[in-house]
Amino acid sequence: MKIAVAGTGYVGLVTGVCLAENGNENIMCVDVDEEKVNLMKKGICPIFEEGLEELMQKNYQKGRIDYTTDYKSAYKDSDVIIIAVGTPEKTDGSANLDAIKDVAMQITECITKDVLVVIKSTVPMGTNEKIEKLIKEHLIDKNIRVEIASNPEFLSQGTAVKDMLHGYRIVCGVESEWAKEILQEIYKNFDQPILITNRNSAEMIKYASNDFLALKISFMNDIANLCEIVGADIEEVALGMSYDKRIGNKFLKAGIGYGGSCFPKDTKALHWLAQFKGYELKTVKAAIEVNENQKLKLIKKAAEYFESFEGKKIAILGLTFKPGTDDIREAPSISNIKYLLEDEADIYAYDPVGIKNVQKIFGDSIKYSDSIEDVIKDAEACFIMTEWEDVKNFELKKYRELMKRPLIFDGRNCYDLVEAKNEGLEYYSLGRAPMNPEITTVIDNRNKEQK
C-alpha cells in the first residue's frame, strides 16, 4: 500500500516514520520546504523529538520512507494520502484550514485512482465532510473514488514517538466499510485499541480530549492560587487527589500555564465553534481565562519586590513550553520576556534546546547562554519557566553564591521549600506552604493483595 503524508511537522513526520517503523513499506512524506526535505534525506531531523532521528535514519536506509517536495508524483498513484498540515488559530480563535484546503486542491489535480484521504490534523467538527465535498466538486476524473476519513493524532511533544507507537488508542472516523478496512490494514501492527466511529465523533474526541486535559491544568492552577491564600499546599492536595482512581495522577501539577501547539489553539477553537453554533462552553472559557492569567503570575509577584525592572539583570531559566521539546509556541516564557523587555530589563536566558527558536522572535534584544551559571551570575532575580532536569538538579547554593540577590521565582515548583530556605534563598513558588517532614507522611495500611 502506497501512503503519502502531506506535511512534515511534529504530526506528519512522526506519523510517517512510525508507520514505516511498524511495517508500512512505501511512505512518501511531502513538504514545500526544499531545504527541510534535503535535511531529512540526510537523516537529519528538523525538530527536537526524542528517538525520531534514529527511526528516520533506520527506515530511510531500509527504503521504507522517503521525502519530497514533488506532491504531484507523491499523490499520483497513492492508495492513502494523510493530511497532517498545520491548523493555526485565526485572530478570532477559530481554526485556519487554508493549508488543508490547499492540499485538497492539489489532490484533485494529481490522483489517478481510488484513494482514501485521511485528515490527521486537528480540525473542527464537520471539516472532513466539507473537505470531501470540496475534493469531489473539483475532481477532474469523476470516476475516481475519493473518501475522507478522520484519524486524529494524540501526540505529546517530547514523547511523540512513544505516543504514536504505544498510545492509549487509535481513533478512526469513517463513513464506509471500505475506509474502515484500509485504516485497519494501516494500523494492524500497532498494539493499541482501534476505535471506529463516525467522522464527527472522531473530530470531537480529539478536541474533547485536549480540552479536558487543559481543564485539569487550569483547575489545578486555580486551586494552587487559592492554596497560597488559605495556607494549604498544592502538592499535598494533588497527592491526596491522585489516590482517587476517578481523578488519576496525571496533569495535577501546578505551574504557570500550558502552552505548545495544541492546548491553547484547541481550547480557543472549540470555544469559538460552540459560540458560532450558539452555545457557550463555560468550562472551556474558564480554562482559557485561568491560563492566560497564570502565565504572568510570576511577574505579578516580582512586582512586589521591584518598582521597575529597568536596568536590572534578570535571569530566565527555560524557554520552551515544556521540557523535552524545542517548541516555544505559546510558551509562558515568551509573554514574560515581552513584559520584561517593555520595562527595559537586562535579560539573560538559558535553555538547552530552545534558544534558536527564541532568537527568531527577540534577536539580540536578550542575551543567551548554554550555562545556567553564566545566566544567573550577578542577576537580581531569576525566573524558572521550564522544568528541565538540569534546572531541577542545579545546586541551590550556586544561586546564593552567584546572584547579586538570590531571589527566585519558580513557575514549575522545582525545589524543596525547606532546602531553599536553608540555603538562604528568597524563594517563591506556586501554591505551596512549608511542609513539616515529621507530619507530611503517607501511611499505606493495605495488604499485598489489596495493592
CATH of the domain at 254: 1.10.1040.10
- Going by pLDDT thresholds of 50, 70 and 90, the confidence category of residue 443 is confident
Query: Cell 476505535 belongs to which residue?
Result: 195
Residue 76 belongs to domain with CATH number: 3.40.50.720
Query: Between these two residues, 436 and 59, which has the higher pLDDT value?
Result: 59
HSE-CB for 437 with a 13 A CA cutoff:
4
Same domain, 397 and 252: no
- Asked whether residue 150 falls in the same domain as residue 290, the answer is no
pLDDT in tens, 19-50: 999 989 999 999 999 999 999 999 999 999 99
pLDDT digits (tens, 9 = 90+) for 237-286: 999 999 999 999 999 999 999 999 899 999 999 999 999 999 999 999 99
* Residue 276, CB-side half-sphere exposure with 13 Å CA sphere: 12
pLDDT of residue 142: 83
- Asked if 89 and 268 touch (Cβ cutoff 8 Å), the reply is yes
Same domain, yes or no: 217 and 233: yes
User: Does 440 fall in a domain?
Assistant: no
Domain assignment present for residue 438? The answer is no
Q: 441 pLDDT exceeds 80?
A: no
The closest of 6, 2, 11, 48 to 328, measured between CA atoms, is 48
As annotated, the active-site residues are 262
What confidence tier does 399 reach under pLDDT thresholds 50, 70, 90?
very high
Residue 160 and residue 118 in one domain:
yes
Angle ∠(345,419,240) on CA atoms, nearest 5: 100
pLDDT in tens, 136-188: 999 988 899 999 999 999 999 999 999 999 999 999 999 999 999 999 999 99
Grid cell, residue 173, equals: 472516523
CA of residue 251 relative to chain centroid, distance: 13
281 & 382 share domain:
no
Are 153 and 260 members of one domain? no
Residue 361 CA from chain centroid, whole number: 19
Share of the chain above pLDDT 90, in %: 94
218 and 349 co-located in one domain:
no
Average pLDDT over residues 89-118: 95
- 31 and 175 in a single domain? The answer is yes
Q: Is residue 402 over pLDDT 90?
A: yes
DSSP string, 121-178: S---TTHHHHHHHHHHHH-S-TTS-EEEEE------TTSHHHHHHS-S-EEEE-SSHH
Asked if pLDDT for residue 433 goes beyond 90, the answer is no
Q: Give yes or no for residue 401 having a pLDDT over 70.
A: yes
Angle of helix 234-242 relative to helix 199-230, nearest 10 degrees, comes to 140
Q: Is residue 309 part of a domain?
A: yes
Q: E strand or H helix at 41, and its extent?
A: helix 34-41
Can you tell me the distance from the alpha carbon of 291 to that of 220, in angstroms, rounded to the nearest whole number? 11
Same domain, 122 and 61: yes
User: Looking at residue 141, what is its pLDDT?
Assistant: 85
Domain that holds residue 213: 206-295
347, 412 contact by CB (below 8 A): no
Residues 323 and 373 grouped into a single domain: yes
Can you give the pLDDT at residue 442? 76
- Taking all residues of the chain, what is their mean pLDDT, rounded to a whole number? 95
Q: 96-126 burial, b if ≥16 CB within 10 A, otherwise e?
A: ebebbbebbebbbebbeeebbbbbbbbbbbe
Looking at the fold, whether 29 and 69 belong to one and the same domain comes out as yes
Rounded to two decimals, the pTM is: 0.92
- In degrees, to the nearest 5, what angle opens at C-alpha 373 toward C-alphas 372 and 378? 120
Cβ contact 318:387 at 8 Å: yes
pLDDT 10s digits, 189-218: 999 999 999 999 999 999 999 999 999 999
- Number of C-beta neighbours around residue 167 at 10 A: 19
Count the domains in the chain. 3
Element (H, E) at 80: strand 80-83
Backbone angles phi, psi at 197, to 5 degrees: -135, 180
